[in-house]
Chains A and B, each alone.
Chain A
Amino acid sequence: MKEMSNSTKNSFLLPGLAIAALGAAAGVFVANNTKLSDDSATSPFSSKAGQRVGLDDDSAALKALQADLERTLLLPEDYRSVPDSTLSDVHGQPITTAALLDGKWTLMFFGYTFCPDVCPVTLQVMNEVVSKMEANGDEPMQVVFVTVDPVRDTAERMKDYVSYFNSDFIGITGELDAIQKLTRSLGVIASFTASKDNPENYIVDHTASMLLVSPDRRIRAKFAGPHEADTIIDDYLTLMAALN
């Protein structure tokens, strides 16, 4: 790697001003609007009257299944669902959440490419999960990485980023409003912190768990950290044996 010249630095910084202003605006907008949209979020083991919580309404079976999981939080069927919305794939083409998720078990993670620590390691673990399952002859889940920072994470950037970890991984970006609606509906946190040094270097605090989405787009489990591939695989196979 060569040392940067002053002119190179300037050529980087000047166009960055426009991005910085947009990024800062987006940060303020999202931070001010990122709230849990649904105050009725239920306890994993409580149910609203007349609603299914899974496993044939047998909360004892649900508790027994939870006890079999190593580090995963089982969620009831009526917890939250991925809403109908249109996002963008890594080619810049619109994709609906139905087309993305229906009919497949999906491991979903929300992060951003400007994240130097948690996100790349999480995606490495997700790749390890899929690779080990394939090697063991188990059918892996679909993996979807959704950016919480669509202003900086363009389709092109997402394509390069996601494919670096696994060419089968799906990267999702989209309009800021659409991403915001998705995260709010799922209770996913995206909290922006401005940079004192440079507005374009803002940081996004975000939910750390991976979400397990069912083929009918319900959030059925959260894989909490520290993430370890073997633990995720064990818990996923336990869930598949019970829920399918």
Chain B
Amino acid sequence: MKHYSTTVIALYLSLFSLTALAEMPMISDARINQPPPGTAVAAGFFTISNPGDEPLIITGASSDMIGKIEVHLTTVVDDVARMKEQMEVVIEPGASLKFEHGSYHLMLMRMDNALVAGDSIAISLDTNVGPVAINMPVVKPGMSMPKAELEMKIPDSEHDMATPKITD
């Protein structure tokens, strides 16, 4: 009887682990574009999928190898490129989100050592389902970069430059 109970418990734990694993976010196409020399910042890109039943919420990122990482969103509106830190990024159940040029990206800052192609940076995403580890290789960007669907329009003829303003 005791042996039977142990088997049931072990089976239950295995199924629980498999279920939890199946609901963990999936990461693909992770990369950091090699920044030009002398620059203390770089952008990290990846695709994240949420196979779970609840919204996945990214609240930050960190790495022992990088001084500071923020989640940023680039937009181009009225011919002005804007970049703003995001405190939360939500991926709905069953959905995927690309972190890519002209859109969401990890902004890596305070880098004492230059990143060069071939390096690999271990980054931890802070999420509502726990930390998600990403191993991000540094790559030399090719000439054909992935393009996001930028919101970009040719300035209209009445006011062809946007009014400057300070974002908070």
List the interface of chain A (C-beta within 8 A of B). 1-4, 8-9, 12, 31, 34-36, 41, 43-46, 71, 73, 113-118, 120-121, 124, 127-128, 156-157, 160-161, 164-165, 187-193, 196-198, 201, 203, 205-209, 222, 224-226, 228-229
Contact = CB atoms under 8 A, between A and B. Distances in A.
A209 to B, nearest CB: 5
Q: Nearest 10 A-B pairs (CB), nearest first? A: A164-B36, A160-B38, A116-B43, A43-B157, A187-B161, A208-B81, A205-B82, A118-B81, A116-B41, A225-B152
Contacts, number: 164
A129 to B, nearest CB: 10
Contacts of B36: 113, 120, 160-161, 164-165
B interface residue count range (under 10 / 10 to 19 / 20 to 34 / 35 or more)? 35 or more
Contacts of B79: 189, 207-209, 222, 224
A226 B102 CA distance: 9
Contact of A31 (B42, B141, B166): B166
A26 to B, nearest CB: 14
14 contacts: A1-B115, A36-B161, A36-B163, A41-B161, A116-B41, A121-B102, A124-B141, A161-B39, A189-B79, A193-B84, A203-B84, A205-B167, A206-B81, A224-B155
Given A4-B67, A164-B37, A116 B166 contact: no
A152 B41 CA distance: 13
Contacts of B157: 43-46
B53 interface: no
A9 to B, nearest CB: 6
A116 B105 contact: yes
Given A225-B150, A226-B147, A117 B65 contact: no
A118 B74 contact: yes
Contacts of B84: 193, 203
Given A124-B141, A191-B167, A116 B107 contact: yes
A160 B108 CA distance: 19
Nearest to A33: B164
A190 B121 CA distance: 32
Contact of A191 (B41, B107, B164): B164
Nearest to A156: B38
B165 A191 contact: yes
Interface in B28-81: 33, 35-43, 64-65, 67-68, 70, 72, 74, 76, 79-81
B112 A224 contact: no
Contact of A201 (B109, B163, B164): B109
B143 interface: yes
Given A191-B167, A193-B168, A197-B68, A206 B80 contact: yes
Contact of A208 (B80, B116, B166): B80
Contacts of B70: 197
A226 B165 contact: no
Contacts of B37: 160-161, 164
A208 B152 contact: yes
A128 B143 CA distance: 7
Contacts of B40: 114
A47 to B, nearest CB: 12
Contacts of A12: 67, 110, 112
Interface in B122-168: 141, 143, 145, 147-148, 150, 152-155, 157-168
B164 A34 contact: yes
Contacts of B35: 116, 120
Contacts of B88: none
A225 B38 contact: no
A31 B81 CA distance: 15
B83 interface: yes
Contact of B81 (A36, A41, A205, A222): A205
